[in-house]
A and B are shown apart, each in its own frame.
Chain A
Amino acid sequence: MHKTYVHPLPVRLWHWINAVGFLLLILTGVHIRYVGVFDLMSFRTAVTLHNWIGFVVIADYFVWLLFYLTSDKIVNYVPDLNARRLFTKAFRQVRYYGYGMFVGEKDPHTVTPYDKFNPMQAMLYSVVMLIVAPIQFYTGILLWDVQRFSAQVEFFGGVRIVDTIHVLIFAFFIVYIFMHAYLGALGRPWTAHYKAMFTGWEEEH
């Protein structure tokens, strides 16, 4: 068995705070948008919790950002600009997830501290962490105090548009979390990646 330390402590802390935060944001967000459909808490409680948790998640994001900006491991998020190579690797990865893993083939991507993500993960995480999540945080802050940020809300076309963007990204994260949790369970054994996300050590059998 080969062990690789791929998840430093700041990343693990960020990840789990973020994970719990996302789940709570979804829970409270659903209560805000669908009052009466779910009845775990009042609208006002949901809004208050949503705001506080939102700020915690935003602060947590900066833990992640600061770590990678000050670490050489930032290479994990530097995109591969060689389209041919990227496509080839991505295709191999899709083939593995769609066929190879079911017939006992080895994962074409080997996890190392400076090459943590397979090409599909790399693309997705880059987009999520550098584009989608910041937009969600930003629209969330605008909605937190619409009047204070009224000029920016107006710039983006009004509160209706800002809220629609926020909800569409929320829909994206619903899909993302299902997928992320499921793919995380595809280790060998199925708890391997979860365990690694707690310990920092990825074990290769």
Chain B
Amino acid sequence: MRRLRDAAVLPATLCRARLCYPIALAAPTIRRPVRGPLFAAGIRVRGTGLTHHNAAAHGAAHLGSEMVGMGITLSMKISRKTAFAGRHGLFVLAMAAGLAGWLVSAKAQDTALSDPDKACLGCHGMEGMDKKAANGDSIPLHVPADIFAKSVHTAVGCTGCHYDIKADAHPATPKNITSARAFSVETVQTCRNCHDDKFKEWENSIHASLVRDGNPAAPICSDCHSPHGVIKNAASAMESVPCRGCHSDVYEAYAGSVHGKLRESGQIMAPLCAGCHTAHSITAANVAMELGLKSICTGCHADTFEKHKTWLPNAGLHLETVSCAACHAPGVPRQVNLRLVDQATQKRIAEQSGVPRFEAAARANDGRGTGLGPVEVWTLLRSLERDKPGDQTVLLGRLEVQKGADAHKLAAKGKAVSDCGTCHRQGAEAFQTVSLSVARPDGRLIRYGAQSDVLSSIVSVDSIKGFYAIGATRIDLVDYLVILALVGGAAIPVGHLLLGWFVRRANRRGAAKA
């Protein structure tokens, strides 16, 4: 990285451009007359008073010239008239600008900034500098020098990323920028040059998938890592973790959780967002859960199975079919997610890109529009199988929390649901909300609502083979048979005693008649 900075060509490219080419070459001293655009504009700058390429002088020199013409504005404007004030005036201007530049970039000068970077910040360090995109978006060109000075990117310097800036075309060459977002998405490719591994992880993430889908809120590198202010371990502090920008509801849930409270108290072993979700290869939550988010939980809580086994019957099955949060985030609404799975491969049915069929088939079977009933679920599965002969589609159920944010409201162990009767009873809250789901190509779920009685219908013996919670999803018809058995069992002795009474009475009457 250091080598990159040393090789930075900013003075030779950027500042050699039009305005202060000799000034740019001036580090540490400039003793040459200036001949550049300012000269062309009738300005003769003799920089004899400058001892080095002062950022403010550089910025001041730009003021009132092409930058305004390019649509770049500065909050501090110095008129062309002032620039024409002659040598004396220019000297004053240079001194004033030098002072201003020092104020703007004092910290930068004192810290890790290289001279070329200071040169860039001569202009870009000025607050309010921005550019208008074609759609009217404002693209900030202001880089706070003090923030940049603290950034790890000082190691590469401005041109480490902005290598496309041509010495003879900056800042006069206007770029055709349609929108701030388009510019960001295009520019983000730059990050790949140094962070190829992370970039590839991001490319396979749900975030990148959303970007490809055109979602304007989906994050690219610069949305999480302020490119000019990126510092080490920013994502490991609660107050600066970038995820909270979009996922504020999740963050709030997390902050109140046992993890968040521990983290806040200084327990750095307690996970922050990336501790579970990873920083860049983030998948849709349900995919993460299937692929091993739970194993990430058990990565820290290594004795999960052993501990559950000491008190929880069928502990392995519970850990497989119940999300951690369903018990460890007590009080949050839960639901049953019936995932369509190919029975042969045990892989979940994924909606093919461009050929959606699940939602249409579900809607076609849901005649009343009130959610799929037991028979409708059965016919839906058969209709999906007809589309792909040879496949057998089954439903594997999973108990989880309804809202993703709620999955982060993890409580201390002692507060987790441990009363089996919470779920294993008829009418339990957890089984009242039911949906069927398939996965989109990027892993996100497509859900379709079902009626809760799909879990307790005799028809479901065939269609929902893989999900059954004793007590809660028991089949009504079997209950009637149990009642019948009870009544029938009690009726046998009673019936036989009655029979005996009638037989004996009839026999006595017969004997009496005889």
Interface residues of A (CB under 8 A from B): 32-36, 42-44, 47-48, 51, 97-99, 101-103, 144-148, 157-161, 163-164, 167-168, 170-172, 174-179, 182
Contact = CB atoms under 8 A, between A and B. Distances in A.
Interface residues of B, number: 43
Contacts of B419: 42-43
Contacts of B488: 175
B355 interface: no
7 closest cross-chain pairs (CB), A and B: A158-B465, A178-B489, A171-B485, A147-B316, A43-B420, A182-B493, A102-B503
Given A35-B425, A157-B465, A168-B481, A47 B493 contact: no
Contact of B485 (A34, A98, A174): A174
B482 A167 contact: yes
Nearest to B474: A33
A43 B424 contact: yes
Contact of B489 (A47, A102, A179): A179
A120 to B, nearest CB: 13
Interface string B291-333: 0000000000000000000010110110010000000000000
A171 B478 CA distance: 9
B280 to A, nearest CB: 34
Nearest to B311: A44
A97 to B, nearest CB: 7
Given A102-B500, A102-B507, A163-B470, A172 B465 contact: no
Nearest to B316: A147
Contacts of A172: 485
A189 to B, nearest CB: 16
Nearest to B320: A147
B471 interface: yes
Given A144-B314, A157-B462, 16 more contacts: A34-B471, A35-B426, A36-B421, A102-B504, A148-B316, A158-B394, A160-B464, A163-B468, A167-B474, A167-B482, A168-B481, A174-B485, A174-B486, A178-B490, A179-B489, A179-B492
Contact of A160 (B311, B317, B461, B499): B461
A103 B504 contact: yes
Given A146-B317, A147-B320, A159 B311 contact: no
22 contacts: A33-B471, A35-B424, A35-B471, A43-B421, A47-B420, A102-B499, A102-B504, A144-B314, A145-B316, A146-B317, A147-B314, A157-B462, A159-B467, A160-B460, A160-B465, A161-B461, A167-B474, A170-B482, A171-B478, A171-B481, A172-B485, A175-B489
Given A42-B420, A43-B424, A148-B316, A177 B489 contact: yes
A98 B495 CA distance: 11
Contacts of A44: 311, 313, 420
Contacts of A32: 424, 470-471
A156 B382 CA distance: 20
B232 interface: no
Given A145-B314, A179-B489, A99 B420 contact: no
A47 B507 CA distance: 52
Most B CB contacts (10 A, CB to CB) among A47, A158, A177 go to A158
B465 A161 contact: yes
A176 B426 CA distance: 27
B478 A35 contact: no
Contacts of B507: 102-103
B466 interface: yes
A36 B426 contact: yes
Contacts of B484: 171
A144 B316 CA distance: 11
B475 interface: yes
A81 B255 CA distance: 75
B195 interface: no
B496 interface: yes
A103 B503 contact: yes
A147 to B, nearest CB: 4
A43 B500 CA distance: 42
A159 B466 contact: yes
B264 to A, nearest CB: 35
B376 to A, nearest CB: 18
A48 B420 CA distance: 12
Nearest to B455: A160
Contact of A158 (B466, B473, B496, B500): B466
